[in-house]
Amino acid sequence: MQTQRTTDEFRNEPFTDFSKPENAEAMRDAIEQVRSELGREYKNWVNGEWITIDSKFESHNPANKDQVIGIFPEVDDDAERIVGNAISAASKAFKTWKNVPAEERASYLFKAADIIRERKHYFSAWMIFETSKTWAEADGDTAEAIDFLEFYGREMIRWSQPQPVTKIEGEDNALEYIPLGVGAIIPPWNFPLAIMVGMTTAAIVAGNTVVLKPSSDSPTIAVKFIEVLEEVGLPAGVVNFVTGSAATGEAMVTDAKTRFISFTGSKQVGLHINEQAAKTREGQIWIKRVVAEMGGKDAIIVADDADLDAAAEGVVQAAFGFQGQKCSACSRLIVDEKVHDELMEKVLERTAKLKVGEPTEGDTNMAAVINKSAFDKTLEYIKIGESEGGKIVAGGSGNETQGFFIEPTIIDDVEPMATIEQEEIFAPVLAVIKARDYDHALEIANDTEFGLTGAVYSADQARLDRAKNEFHVGNLYLNRKCTGALVGVHPFGGFNMSGTDSKAGGREYLLQFMQAKSVSQKV
């Protein structure tokens, strides 16, 4: 297998074209392979050994809620001891891993990328079952995981090279980046391979060691990645894998030996982690660093001069892709009232064509939301939206007979500052707000505590340029949808309550897992 990428240029992994019969057949084969492996029991991975405990929990298929995907140790019941052991293993491994040359650390990422690329549909199929991703969404998730491995490996090699400093006579001066220490990695369920892989491998390629706790809604795809790390021979203790819920995460965050926390998830949990990380505990000799991506209330603005067909297509894709369960999803459509009726006709026409069904079927556009809690919360938000004056013009109901299915829902005539215009729902619910003009549209878009993604459709370059200056989001898209960030192309992260503007997939991302050391020698 190829393991060195020191000279070749990074390129994004291509998405699979499932209109080609051979690709569709390969995905169907992978789905059947994964189907034959469902319901197995897995262990945690600490210090290079597979361990388990008596207490267990199950991961279920959101589209078939009685189907068990995997069975895992429930560390919450003994979190302090088990997490403590994992952090101790990581601390021991850090002493040697930090001195491994960057090229060698990167080679493990490149080997892992090769394996996942070779088994791409297999990894995608696990997400189809475990998180109810459609074929295209799962394929995109797997491609992004490969991208993170390839990109961060190359970036670490780049950062390890001599850094520019001003020369002065009589001294040799150098600046180098060194790792932080042991990190807690707490990824989300919605990009259960890509974000988990990116967060984990960015930390370790920079020379750190970590304890990884995946979401309890998506532990199986995470353990499949751990199996890849074992296959490539990653040294013991560099990555330690534990499964559990809140108590497990809390033990990771509060341990005095934890140097940094990398988190992606809800605003509520992110703020709690930030608060706990700020407290200095006995034996702690550093200020913990927090890297957090916490979601958004993202808006697409459609001006009165926009290409309405392109805008409608972008809105529907961004609002309902993966059931709206993306922190970048379009949950607010802010449209100039002069073109509201014409645009909505096009949006509703496209929404009506979406097929809600089993994610294992290749022609499904939308499947189930992640769990019972999300299902109930979404239906409650729909009721709130209606009670506050909104008009349901599409969808509005759900069915949980077999899985947690909710129709693509559009609520029109939503007022600025209404509950569903302000709070993140994380589901296939689109709030439509009329703006008097472009000034008003920008005002509405910015009147939120979040600042992750946004988009503007307009034929006027002056308006687009104004959005560059005034639309306060970390990722702004002009005349295209607000989802679909590519590694290396669209460094991803937002402002305000959307997090620490981490810019995952960007050239500076690895700096969050390193610290700069200046060395001067008199000559």
Q: What are phi and psi of 405, to 5 degrees?
A: -95, 130
**Cα distance between residue 156 and residue 149, in whole Å:** 11
Strand-pair category, 330-336 with 56-61: unpaired
Strand-pair category, 40-41 with 64-73: parallel
Catalytic residue from among 74, 144, 250, 327:
327
Active site residue 293: yes
DSSP 3-state assignment of 264? strand
Letter for the amino acid at 522? K
User: CB of 469 within 8 A of CB of 452?
Assistant: no
Q: Tally Cβ neighbours within 10 Å of residue 462.
A: 9
Q: Tally Cβ neighbours within 10 Å of residue 494.
A: 27
Vertex 218 angle, CA 215 and 223, to 5°: 100
Q: Which two tokens stand for residue 437?
A: 């003009």
C-alpha distances (whole Å) from 258 to each of 94, 187, 219, 330, 510 are: 12, 16, 22, 35, 18
**Cα distance between residue 54 and residue 437, in whole Å:** 61
H/E element holding 209? strand 209-212
DSSP label of 286: S
Residue 427, classified by CB atoms within 10 Å of its CB into exposed (0-12), middle (13-18) or buried (19+), is buried
**Long-range contacts, 360-363 (Cβ 8 Å, 24+):** 360/31, 360/128, 360/129, 362/18, 362/24, 362/27, 362/28, 362/135
**Cα distance between residue 101 and residue 105, in whole Å:** 6
Which segments of 131-265 does DSSP mark as H helices, in order?
135-159, 194-205, 219-231, 246-254
Spatial CA neighbour of 214 closest among 252, 236, 245: 245
**Cα distance between residue 87 and residue 316, in whole Å:** 44
**Cα distance between residue 446 and residue 267, in whole Å:** 18
Catalytic residue from among 74, 144, 293, 407:
293
Q: Which residues are catalytic?
A: 293, 327
